Amino acid sequence: MTNSKTNSPNYKLTKKDFNQINRRNLFTFQLGWNYERMQNTSYLYTVLPQLRKIYGDNTDDLKEAMKNHTQFFNTSNFFNTIITGTNLAIEEQQGIEAKETVAGIKVGLMGSFAAIGDSIFAALIPAIFGAIAANMAVNGNPTGVFIWVAVNIGVMYFRWRQLEFAYKEGVTLVTRMQSKLSALTDAATLLGVFMVGALIATMINIKIGFAPQIGELTVDIQEKIDMVLPRIVPAALVGSVYWLLGRKKMTATKAIFIVLIVSVALSALGVISKI
């Protein structure tokens, strides 16, 4: 027989609960990803043991809460536990009566946190520290490996700590951050674009090797191009790849092979060369 008791009002999440949620979040959050509702089953799996403790096992309210958490959800892996911690704090206090508030917080924050998290942690930080590590590796310096490992450990520590912080702050965290989310997103996006431009100019080493002979005069086409706009050839290459990726049925793997084949062919013909 199903128990209809609303929830266990005296239960408070413990350090053990936070550790369990963080472990599931770090190692299994993307395993339930699907095209229809994306991270919904992953979110539910992450918090299911705690929902059972809050609502009681095999109760009507638990079933209702589980159904509520299988709605569409998709945000940055680097910020999702802020939403999780905030929602758990609300559910712990108000039970199933707060299901609409919980769903609203997920819908309202997942877009903003996706933009911020992807800009900073999926693009900006890997671009900066990946470039540093790659440059060191090219020069035979193994320090770059340790820098890269340290950065990733720091990111995982950040993900681990934010859950309990968001839980303790509850809805006041959302209220305080709301006015700053848009500005932070714009700043992160701008900085990410700036870093991509800098990496194009420094990491893509290609130039026009073709130098036609006109009588006794050799025309250095690359020199002429540099007089107009230096590093335009690497920028044009990146722009071409972006254009390819925007075509239907084009994948990143296909684009890589196209670049490899075309580069080898043009290099063999002497049209392009490495700087």
CA angle 267/271/275 to nearest 5° reads 70
Domain-wise residue ranges, the chain: 15-192, 207-273
3-state helix, strand, coil in the chain (%, to 5): 70, 5, 25
* 139 vs 137: CA distance, rounded Å: 5
Tell me the helices (H) and strands (E) count for the chain, helix number first.
11, 4
Q: What is the pLDDT along the chain (275 residues), one digit of tens a residue?
A: 444 444 445 688 899 999 999 999 999 998 888 888 899 999 999 999 999 999 988 899 999 999 999 999 999 999 899 999 989 988 888 888 888 888 888 888 888 788 888 888 888 888 888 888 888 888 888 888 899 999 999 999 999 999 998 888 876 665 565 556 556 556 656 766 776 777 777 778 888 888 888 877 888 888 888 888 888 888 888 889 889 888 888 888 888 899 999 989 988 888 888 76
pLDDT at 192: 62
Beta strands in 67-165 (DSSP E): none
Please report how the helices 171-203 and 143-169 are oriented relative to each other, as an axis angle in degrees rounded to 10. 160
How is 102-116 classified by DSSP, letter by letter?
A: HHHHHHHHHHHHHHH
Q: Which of 201, 255, 263, 229 is nearest to 272 (CA)?
A: 263
* 144 vs 136: CA distance, rounded Å: 5
Q: Which of 24, 14, 81 is nearest to 53 (CA)?
A: 14
